[in-house]
Amino acid sequence: GTDVHEIQRIVRDGVVTREGKVAGGRGGFGPYQIGYGAIVPKQGECANLFVTFALSASHTAFASIRMEPVFMVTSQSAATAACLAIDEQIPVQDVPYEQLQTRLLADGQVLQWEPISGADD
């Protein structure tokens, strides 16, 4: 979920508005995927760089991305991709996603959220 806190409550015309509140309610949003392209620069901008913290995202998405479990996933993915790039002697932007996906799944990485049937959200 997102980790956005309201800045203040404002009363306008008798209605309380929570400034800075984003949609999603108390339960927030469910897990979502982050594309590999979010942690590597575009081809030609820079080679062999991973950005697992200040990655490409809107300010709203970053409110969720900035949580530690996400950094564990993006960092494990970057480390695995780095190993593949070194082995193949290619820039990290050229690592085939299918090869990265296979290795991450073999290592136990969760790449797609599968809700448990009958469990509460």
- 119 occurs within a structural domain: no
Is 53 in contact with 73 (CB distance < 8 Å)? no
Any domain includes 111: no
Is 10 inside any structural domain? no
Domain assignment present for 114: no
Q: Which of 58, 2, 60 is nearest to 31 (CA)?
A: 2
- Domain-located, residue 40: yes
The string of pLDDT tens digits covering residues 51-86 is 998 887 887 778 778 888 888 999 999 999 999 999
Contact present, 104 and 111 (Cβ < 8 Å): yes
Considering its fold, how many domains does the chain have in total?
1
The predicted model gives 7-22 an average pLDDT of 83
Query: Rg (Cα) of the chain, in Å, rounded?
Result: 18
pTM, 2 dp: 0.73
Judge whether residue 15 has pLDDT over 60.
yes
Structural domain including 89 reads 27-106
Integer Cα distance of 57 and 65 in angstroms? 8
Pinpoint the alpha helices (H) of the chain: 59-65, 68-88, 97-106
